[in-house]
Structure 1
Amino acid sequence: QPLISSSKWLQLHGLKRNKLSLSHILSQIGFQHRKDYVTTLGKLVASRYADGLFPQYKRTQDGSVYNLTAKKEQILHFVDCLMGAIELYKQRLEWLTSDSRQIFGVIQERCIVIVLGFGTAAPPEFDRCRDALSMVLVEQVTQIAKFNLIWAAQDPMKWQQKSIPVSEDTVESAVTWLWKLDRMTAASHTSSAEALLEAMSDEAVSS
């Protein structure tokens, strides 16, 4: 799937976009039971001509009532469409909660600098962090334009001096660099802030 936000995805695949919202479906399978203001009574009065003539559906949101006039085939058509939409939503949720997206979310920027703040992680945690970062590089960074890595050591260590174009070779190089990092490299309490400032100074990212 493309790296887009859920709001953008819903604009493309949501119920409203595909005319499957409740209000749209109701307008296609029936008509709203109207109320008119009766001057002599001084209140809204619902018409009664359709009472018992059609099945009715009452919306819980606003209490409006719809008389349902659609044939079985039309109802089944909307059932099929909604089942397809449900399956699409399931696939999206599974995608969002799997692999690197479960940890990092979905990268939406075209140019990024990833700051590595491992702190004093023990060897197993250090390797798990590198596994996760390797995964995001391969699964998501490969779909953007430019990237760089900065390790928040006592003296921030850059993979490249500035972000460079994404390619199969550059991603592979970044993964190799990541796994060559020395866990014992000293860090200070200001390392992360300094690394973030370095990342923000990258013109490709800040522009």
Structure 2
Amino acid sequence: MNRNLLTILLLIGYTYLIFNFLTAEYSLTSRIFYALNFISLSLILLAKAKSKKLNKNTHFLDEVQLVLEKSYSTIMYILNIALVISFISFLTGFIYLREEYPQFILYSIVLLLMTFYYIKLFYEDKHNIIYMNKKNVNFNNSELECQLQLDDGEKNVLLKQLVNFYKSTIILMFITEITLMFYSIISSNYQTVSMVLIAIVIFISSSLLITTNVYTNHN
């Protein structure tokens, strides 16, 4: 899809959410979930705006390089927050609003997919530019130590273990969230607090994963 067209669709969706939120009559619970979708979309737009400020032609100055790397990390964190919020909105909305306001579930699914898309798009576009002089570490490579080229072998092992731990934790937490969602629906014993707490764990783990990958690229 053309990126400019996608941006236009994002802005149209953003305007629609604001208009509908201000004009339609919803219950407090519905407005909370509506606000979650609104926040998620706002973060996606903020990340997209920040990504345009990354300049390919200023890569060779050390001071600018540091700024670019910090900007890259910031945008990844913003998209990470948007992903977690839209995921919470989808799960809890499916539990509470699937019959009364099924469109909210659709909004959350669309935002969830869009966030995944932008994370992938931003990574593919900017990662090699920001770190063009640094090796992209493939932790599936059997010769990881040679790839990282660090003096301390224990640091290599630690980085590999951290990344694998964060990835495993995130996957398990996502599966747990989905399981709790269906359990809440089937048993009518809603696990909202647990789901929110697990989502926080997902956010922390994914943020640490971003930090670890950025640190690895510095080496």
Same-fold call, TM > 0.5?
Answer: no
Higher relative contact order, chain-length normalized (CA < 8 Å, sep 6+): 2
Higher helix share: 2
Structure whose residues are more often strand by fraction: 1
Scaled by the length of structure 2, the TM-score of the pair is: 0.29
